[in-house]
Amino acid sequence: MKALEGIKVLDFTHVQSGPTCTQLLAWFGADVIKVERPGVGDATRKQLVDVPGADSLYFTMLNHNKRSIELNSKNETGKEVLTRLIEICDVMVENFAPGALDRMGFSWERIQEINPRIILASIKGFGPGKYEDCKVYENVAQCAGGSASTTGFHDGPPLVTGAQVGDSGTGLHLCLGIVTALYQRESSGRGQKVSAAMQDGVLNLARVKLRDQQRLARGPLTEYSQHGEGIPFGEATPRAGNDSGGGQPGRILKCRGWETDPNAYTYFITQAAAWTQVCEVIGEPEWKTKEGYATPPERLDKLNEIFERIEQWTMTKTKFEVMEICNPRNIPVGPILSMKELMEDEGLRETGTIVDVEHPERGTYVSVGCPIKLSDSPVDVIRSPLLGEHTQEVLAGDLGYRGDDLMRVLESGAVGDVNKEAAE
């Protein structure tokens, strides 16, 4: 048994944000039927192609454990099939541009009429308001949600992050909304509409920066290195470089080999409780009690000097040696791991967070597996479907189309190029 076994999901998502959400639902055991435009499919199938003729990694890595049906939802027969899918599904997920579902003739009111128990889950760039009609991609959300404004160095431009907090982050938010709505349906007997806006999702993840915005009104942000450097604060939460986001000062420091290896760095936190250990390790035992160094508030205006001294020490060690020395002493550190290192990490492979997947068009590729582990609902990562691979199976098996009726649908042009002889 999987946690969401018995739950059917009509997956009308594309690109990254929505597919991240439905992939999680599939990993938790839901039967996810991805509806794609005939002959075209999710645009990511053919974006950033690395193996000519094969589905891209962009697509395959976001659409595991799903089935795919080709369906033109603007064609009359296509609408009929979509209506029947809505009848049998528990959840419908979409992340079309604002208004697209309404324009297809499937407003929330209409969907509820078809199936009052269905949960309609939508991702849009913005919530209701002046920007609600905008199309939005990852970096736009990072910029509009407060992430870019607070990422980078205070004397440089705003930066977007590598982690896809706008797309995958909002997919996670939506997924939580869906399972919560499924839980409420147990008692209410009704479905409901679940909405997650990318701007809201990013702002939620940048919550600590809104905290700092309000602290700023009461005085300088003393833990920001900008304060120690004597640079005055402006009106908004500044970019904090690699300063730790919490109350414990931290920086990224060079390690042995940094001259040639762009990832020979470690994160190093001078947590108050570990200060004596830090002093021992770096060879400055007198700092433990020395006036101006002994307590966290005294150290605030000397953080640059302190981290420069720590860096003199980290530069004599590899990032892994730093970890081996500091961990037993409860000094929080973290190596900067490259994608190459993560892909080869034995521990992550053992837990299923990094997996090898076999694909008929592209051979073996590496993917991120399910990052959430349920002890009673283990995840087997199954390759993404080819375009329309399950069209016939869904029409006949799930929707019960048979004989002439099935032929009518297959010949209507609504479901792509299905092998009709095989269907007969």
Which positions from 112 through 141 interact with ligand COA, judged by CB under 6 A? 123-125, 135-137
Active site residue 167: yes
Work out whether 366 is an interface residue with ligand COA (CB under 6 A): no
Least gap, CB of 241 to ligand COA (angstroms): 28
Q: Which residue, chain included where needed, has tokens 């991609």?
A: 137
* Closest by CA position to 12, among listed 113, 114, 81: 81
Helix (H), strand (E) at residue 9: strand 8-12
Q: What is the CA 119 to chain-centroid distance, rounded? A: 21
CA distance 337 to 376: 31
- Stretch of 11-19, 84-92, 174-182, 242-250 lying at the interface with ligand COA (CB under 6 A): 11-19
* Closest by CA position to 203, among listed 242, 255, 149: 149
Least gap, CB of 331 to ligand COA (angstroms): 39
Q: Which residue, chain included where needed, has tokens 């929707």?
A: 399
Decide: 25 and 7 in contact? Cβ < 8 Å.
Answer: yes
Least gap, CB of 146 to ligand COA (angstroms): 17
> Is 40 or 339 the residue whose CB approaches ligand COA more closely?
40
Decide: 239 and 231 in contact? Cβ < 8 Å.
Answer: no
Least gap, CB of 16 to ligand COA (angstroms): 4
Work out whether 35 is an interface residue with ligand COA (CB under 6 A): yes
Q: What is the CA 231 to chain-centroid distance, rounded? A: 35
CA distance 379 to 343: 19
Work out whether 142 is an interface residue with ligand COA (CB under 6 A): no
Q: Which residue, chain included where needed, has tokens 């604002």?
A: 98
Work out whether 104 is an interface residue with ligand COA (CB under 6 A): yes
CA distance 374 to 44: 29
> Is 100 or 337 the residue whose CB approaches ligand COA more closely?
100
Least gap, CB of 237 to ligand COA (angstroms): 25
Q: Which of 23, 65, 68, 73 binds ligand COA (CB under 6 A)?
A: 73
Residues belonging to the chain = 424
What backbone phi and psi angles, to 5 degrees, belong to 150? -110, 10
- Stretch of 71-79, 258-266, 312-320, 343-351 lying at the interface with ligand COA (CB under 6 A): 71-79
- Stretch of 98-106, 144-152, 219-227, 260-268 lying at the interface with ligand COA (CB under 6 A): 98-106
Q: Which of 7, 9, 15, 26 binds ligand COA (CB under 6 A)?
A: 15
Q: Which residue is nearest to ligand COA (CB)?
A: 97
> Is 69 or 379 the residue whose CB approaches ligand COA more closely?
69
Helix (H), strand (E) at residue 8: strand 8-12
Q: Which of 6, 50, 103, 378 binds ligand COA (CB under 6 A)?
A: 103
CA distance 254 to 264: 6
Of 11, 42, 167, 243, the active-site residue reads 167
What backbone phi and psi angles, to 5 degrees, belong to 260? -115, -25
- Stretch of 9-17, 238-246, 280-288, 306-314 lying at the interface with ligand COA (CB under 6 A): 9-17
- Stretch of 68-76, 172-180, 283-291, 293-301 lying at the interface with ligand COA (CB under 6 A): 68-76
CA distance 75 to 81: 10
Least gap, CB of 78 to ligand COA (angstroms): 7
Longest dimension (CA), the chain: 89
- Where does this chain bind ligand COA (CB under 6 A)? 15-18, 35, 37, 71-74, 95-97, 100, 103-104, 123-125, 135-137, 167
Active site residues: 167
